[in-house]
Amino acid sequence: MTRRRVLFVCTHNSARSQMAEGLLRHQAGDRFETASAGTEATRVHPLAIRAMDELGIDIRSHASKTLDRFLAERWDFVVTVCDRASERCPVFPGGATRLHWSFEDPSAATGDEEQRLAVFRRVRDQIAARLRDGFGEAHAAGLQAPPLP
Q: Per the residue annotation, which of 6, 23, 28, 82 is the catalytic one?
A: 82
DSSP codes of every residue in 72-86:
TS--SEEEE-SHHHH
82 is known as an active-site residue: yes
89 is known as an active-site residue: yes
**17: phi then psi, degrees, rounded to nearest 5:** -70, -35
Task: Compute the distance between CA of residue 139 and CA of residue 40 in angstroms, rounded to an integer.
Answer: 30
Q: Between β-strands 4-10 and 77-80, what pairing exists: parallel, antiparallel or unpaired?
A: parallel
Q: Per the residue annotation, which of 6, 7, 10, 47 is the catalytic one?
A: 10
Task: Compute the distance between CA of residue 112 and CA of residue 127 in angstroms, rounded to an integer.
Answer: 23
Task: Compute the distance between CA of residue 100 and CA of residue 55 in angstroms, rounded to an integer.
Answer: 25
Bridge partners (DSSP) listed for residue 10: 38
Task: Compute the distance between CA of residue 4 and CA of residue 27 in angstroms, rounded to an integer.
Answer: 14
By annotation, the residues acting in catalysis are 10, 82, 89
